[in-house]
Structure 1
């Protein structure tokens, strides 16, 4: 059992692509966690998507043995946390399991939005923060300017910040020394009743559900009966161990240590992040603070392009759910798209990752409907079950307007970092999206804008627009601030006077006309011409707000008339007109899948 004074638990905080996973690789290499032959790029990112995009999706942990300059061997537990806003709750739990953090900032790019959000979380957990200025080998590196920026923006002393380059290995030995000297040892009582925090969980096909834990008090042993305090379930521990980064089995995990356990759990949903684990026979008096149920924020429909793939999609989604309990799904049918699933996600990146994994790992062709958020609807009269307030996930399920008293939508507090020259276009974008400006400050050559925005306006294509307007330099982070009442309406799309449920969306009345016009114009280009004319309309209730007409394909029926009376031509044209009217009455418009996919692409609609 390692004495508490020789344990250091720390995480790495950084914005996407500031070198967090590369730094973790170097720390593993220098402490001999893996031999040179076993090393690969981004050891702790084990999904292909993580490696390709340079992002961390699942929190990973590794235990390293490091002999410091004073000759003492320390046990270092490194938590590699996700950097993206969608996984903010997982990050908060990972940070709660540590006593300190390495703040990694790119010497060329400086402090960015997500760095800021995670640093504030870290400060709330009373962490000792060690600044590291990475990528000093780049030609554009300005370490002194970044040092000043860390002090100005975050307000922590960066005079002793370690200058490093994780890629070339500069400064890695100094980082290890600073971790040992500056980050405090964990506190805990090995004799007290067991109290451990569930940091993360995932499904392993051989071991079942693997649970990552940080032991606060007491000792966790193999063969022990443990109880999940928030879930109320009891399980038998059958394996205890740690990652170095290869799996190493241990006899126990003591207070202050981080490791993993397996307990014959089959479903990740039973092991919820942030839960408190205790001994079933000698339980702790109260659970750890900070636990909350993770709720999906963004919803969208996933449909197979080929209807025969529906069962394959069901199976694939169920398998993904084994590994990701924060993602929810239920069956849904659409007149236009057939059978599919209504899925809930933590945010847009989460949606993108799940969609990409389904396409790649399970070889599926999918259509994704426009993402929507959860609305709260206050009804004028209670429904048969006596309910007066309902949550709306799917625009197609919206009650009749006369039954709705109020509709509330979720709002967010967004922090945007952007270089000066792009500020004007970014402010206009926020203004167009119904944003309320709260603050605007300058740090060096960059502006920090704080806006309150409706989440509905952000999920559509806000991030893409932000990146294209700022040529990729703007960074964006947000937190939810609750629901506000809004003048929201359901906009339906009618093709040949038939509603197309998959294209309906909830929009603000003020922007409905622009959105509607954009959608009908796009559909006019996408739907092929038929033998009869097709009206495409955007409507709110019974009122049409935008319309386009696809003209009919016509055969030249007057071609055989040469000379003679003009009434002969008129007669033929009248006959054709009647035929077309009849055809329109009975004809059905087939909208090709490509048209759906293109119409639902998150292009800017105004």
Structure 2
């Protein structure tokens, strides 16, 4: 059932973005704010959250599976303040992972203030610094929300001091340093401005938003010519592309004649077919939306993120949203393996190219360029997870493709070749410190800070400056070195001169020399050769990587050999098979694992690793050519 929209004057509007490091509780807080606004009954919220008591704002399947926010989303709630006035609060939920920083950068233009969430134990983390810097660049003053204060190891007052130190380090103006602090438990749905006087609901947070987040703009901006900037895109099979953004000036009306200004400055005239405003988690059709409010516009296709919808008679473009450039690229190519076409529906380079073009329309941090051949595409993104989510979405849509080893993007700065440098934060048990230091020392990491979060935690906190290429393959090795107890986070700091060579993968791989189904008999015979990635009965092909060698150098093996059917039997021999448990390799783990001469084959049902040249003779011939060139 559609809900009626509460109309408030511009002075009673509050546009607030919720920003934080990953897993500090942004989406949980938004869900509780929506719940306590009284717009929905419990059963409605359960239905919206997928019937699993999950998070309403994490509507994407991948978001629910991984427990992270990938796409920025917004909703609107009405709140009756202590003074009796009704306010409408537009809440913008943003991703917390560094790889999806492009989502944060573009939606901050919709906000007039921010809620900076910080974990009461972890304090400011790498992504906290990144999103806070972006919000300060746009002149947004934060309200600091210290979340999870109900944790037994919480240290709220120390975290507030750390946030202050971070703001000083970011050269924040004096008025920002005098920030409002709210202590909260988003999971339990309460907040308070004073820990000595706890609350049972989120009213103190609502009051802080009303009192400290400024209205969008002065009311007289509604009399200026229309300016609306597109910050998000949605799509409907019935009406096509839907432009979502904020009205910066003027009033946009249904059936109004407007001008659309693209990033090149070209102007086209169109009619507003439908105008949708936000009410709760829904969109309500309205006749007009005034300056300062958020809305969705139908009938502007074709339109892209960053375009301006302006007055038809006086078209003036808003500054185009600048997004940081990608730091990582990899080669997408057609799947030319022996099993091509078994699982997927979309196999050709044309279909892959069209899908990447569609992704560019909404993924502002992505770049796509032609590869060395017509069947290859050079795709650049913010990080491994950024590109991994794209590949996973394509896989679920029925695409088959192969991707190469991720490579960092170098830049020439003042004639010097530079590489991206990241801030790496590692929390690990005290007895694992030496293992972590040894692992990072080989990867040209520089320690910046070391200490304990609290005297009783037993965990040591370390911060490093490390080349981005050193992070590839680090997570799995870090977990092995610390028995799965280390916690890692990283974010981009900037570019510095190239640090030098890094150690390559120490162990080789096991490569299948025949096609067929892997057998327990052959895997048993190869028990001491290494760890396998395939199980008995799985289909393998010539050139596929089926395991990790126990020593340096690649080894070609036969994993499809069956037992000879003779009438000679050894007592108990068949019962003593020593097939090791396979190593489960996720998509991101495969992307980090492969070397330059290897590929990851992605299909809707399988993820395999293979050599780029499947034939052993071809690989030997190529290695001889490379050796001749070096000589």
CA contact (8 A) 2:243 2:300 kept: no
Cα drift, residue 128 of structure 1: 2.3
- The 2-side partners of 1:551 and 1:316 are apart by 33
Task: Tell me how far 1:67 sits from its aligned partner.
Answer: 0.9
1:58 to partner: Cα distance: 1.2
Q: Output one character per residue of 1:422-458: Cα deviation in whole Å (capped at 9) or x when no partner.
A: 5544444443223455x336574554524141x3333
Per mean C-alpha deviation after superposition, the further-off stretch among 189-198 and 68-77 is 189-198
Corresponding residue for residue 275 of structure 2: 240
2:197 alignment counterpart = none
Tell me the residue number matched to 1:522. Answer: 509
Choose the corresponding residue for 1:50, options 63, 72, 85: 63
Encode CA deviations 1:327-369: one digit per residue, 9 max, x unaligned: 45578799xxx9676544332112221222233343x565543
1:597 aligns with 2:608: yes
Contact 2:143–2:179 under 8 Å retained in 1? no
Ranges in structure 1 where 5+ consecutive residues have no aligned partner: 379-405, 488-507, 531-545, 555-590, 602-606
Matching residue of 1:345: 381
1:36 aligns with 2:42: yes
For 1:489-504, what aligned pairs fall within 5 Å after superposition? none
Q: Deviations over 1:493-515 (max 9, x none)?
A: xxxxxxxxxxxxxxx4x64xx44
1:462 matched to which residue of 2? Answer: 474
Deviation, 1:220, is 2.0
Which residue number in structure 1 is paired with residue 443 of structure 2?
433
Tell me, yes or no, if structure 1 residue 254 matches structure 2 residue 280: no
C-alpha separation between the residues in 2 aligned to 1:320 and 1:548? 34
Task: Give the Cα–Cα distance (whole angstroms) in 2 for the partners of residues 289 and 529 of structure 1.
Answer: 53
Compare 414-423 and 348-357 and name the one that shifted more.
Answer: 414-423
Q: In the alignment, does 2:425 pair up with 1:416?
A: yes
SS in structure 2 opposite 1:307?
coil
Tell whether the 8 Å contact from 1:65 to 1:74 is kept in structure 2 after alignment. Answer: yes
Unpaired runs of 5+ residues, structure 2, are: 1-6, 169-175, 192-201, 455-459, 517-551, 562-598, 613-631
TM-aligned CA distance change 1:152 to 1:444, over 3 Å: farther
- Aligned equivalents of 1:89, 1:312: Cα separation in 2: 28
Q: Distance in 2 between matches of 1:467 and 1:247?
A: 44
- The answer as to 2:208 corresponding to 1:178 is yes
SS at match of 2:229: strand
Query: Aligned partners of 1:423, 1:55: CA distance in 2, in Å?
Result: 28
CA distance in 2, matches of 1:600, 1:414: 33
Specify the alignment match of 2:189 in structure 1.
169
Per the alignment, do residues 88 and 356 of structure 1 end up closer, same or farther by CA in structure 2, a change over 3 Å counting? same
Structure 1 residues 298 and 192: alpha-carbon distance in aligned structure 2, compared to 1, 3 A threshold:
same
Going from structure 1 to structure 2, the CA distance change for 1:249 and 1:178 (only over 3 Å counts) comes to same
Q: Does 1:220 align with 2:252?
A: yes
After superposition, where does 1:283-302 map in structure 2 within 5 Å? Answer: 283-284=315-316, 287-288=318-319, 290-292=321-323, 297-301=328-332
TM-score by length of 1: 0.69
Instruction: Tell me whether 1:128 sits opposite 2:141 in the alignment.
Output: yes
Give the corresponding residue for 1:83. Answer: 96
Matched, 1:198 2:212: no
1:373 aligns with 2:408: yes
- Secondary structure class of the residue paired with 1:174: helix
The total of aligned residue pairs comes to 486
Alpha-carbon contact 2:347-2:401 (below 8 Å) kept: no
Q: Which residue of 2 aligns with 1:11?
A: 17
Contact 2:260/2:307 (8 A) holds in 1: no
User: Structure 1 residue 77: deviation in Å?
Assistant: 0.9
Give, in whole Å, the separation in 2 of the partners of 1:92 and 1:360. Answer: 27
Work out which of the residue numbers 219, 241, 260 in structure 2 matches 1:209: 241
Displacement of 1:213 in angstroms is 0.9
The 1:231/1:296 distance shift into structure 2, 3 A limit, reads farther
**Cα 1:226/1:136, change in 2 over 3 Å:** same
- Checking the alignment, whether the CA contact within 8 Å between 1:296 and 1:346 is kept in structure 2 is yes
Residue aligned with 2:28, SS: helix
- Determine if contact 1:219/1:253 at 8 Å carries over to the other structure: yes
Quote the Cα distance in structure 2 between the aligned partners of 1:377 and 1:106: 38
SS at match of 1:75: strand
Structure 1 SS opposite 2:44: coil
- Among residues 100, 112, 117, which one is paired with 1:99 in the alignment? 112
Q: Is residue 262–residue 304 contact of structure 2 (8 Å, CA) maintained in 1?
A: no
How far off its partner does 1:80 sit?
Answer: 0.7
Alignment root-mean-square deviation, CA: 4.1
Supply the distance in 2 between the matched residues of 1:593 and 1:333 (Cα, whole angstroms).
Answer: 19
Alpha carbons of 1:3 and 1:112: their partners in 2 closer, same or farther (altered >3 Å)?
Answer: same
Cα separation, 2, equivalents of 1:296 and 1:224: 41
Distance 1:204 1:317, change over 3 A: farther
Contact 2:401 2:601 in 1 (8 A): no
Cα distance change, pair 358–230 in 1 and its aligned pair in 2 (3 A) = closer
Post-superposition Cα deviations, 1:513-546, rounded to whole Å, max 9, x if no partner, equal: x44x63xx2146x55699xxxxxxxxxxxxxxx8
Distance 1:593 1:97, change over 3 A: closer
**Aligned 1:375-414 pairs, distance under 5 A:** 408=417, 410-414=419-423
Quick one: structure 1 residues 408 and 181, their matched pair in 2 at CA, closer, same or farther if it must change by over 3 Å? same
Change (3 A) 1:443 1:186: farther
Task: For residue 74 of structure 1, report the CA deviation from its aligned partner.
Answer: 0.6
Residues 467/219 of structure 1: CA separation in 2 closer, same or farther (3 Å cut): farther
- Deviation of 1:596 after TM superposition, in Å, equals 9.7
Structure 1 residues 203 and 297: CA distance shift in structure 2, 3 A: farther
State TM-score, norm by structure 2: 0.66
Q: 1:282 aligns with which of 314, 339, 351?
A: 314
1:213–1:259 Cα contact (<8 Å) kept: yes
Give me the whole-angstrom Cα distance separating, in 2, the residues matched to 1:600 and 1:71: 68
2: CA distance, partners of 1:523 / 1:112: 39
Q: 1:549 to 1:59 in 2, by over 3 A?
A: closer
Aligned-pair CA distance for 1:29:
1.5
Note the C-alpha offset of 1:295.
5.1
Distance in 1, matches of 2:556 and 2:397, equals: 40
Q: After superposition, where does 1:285-364 map in structure 2 within 5 Å?
A: 287-288=318-319, 290-292=321-323, 297-301=328-332, 303-304=334-335, 306-308=339-341, 312-314=346-348, 315=351, 318-319=354-355, 321-322=357-358, 324-325=360-361, 326=363, 327=366, 342-362=378-398
Contact 2:514–2:558 (CA under 8 A) maintained in structure 1: no
The CA deviation at 1:256 is 1.2
Shift of 1:275: 3.9
Residue pair 1:368, 1:597 contacting (<8 A) in 2 also: no
**Structure 1 position 23 matched with structure 2 position 29:** yes
Change over 3 Å in CA distance of 1:153–1:264 after alignment to 2: closer
Shift of 1:260: 1.6
> Displacement, 1:480?
6.0
Q: CA deviation at 1:34?
A: 3.0
* Residues in 1 aligned to 2:462 and 2:109: alpha-carbon distance in whole angstroms: 28
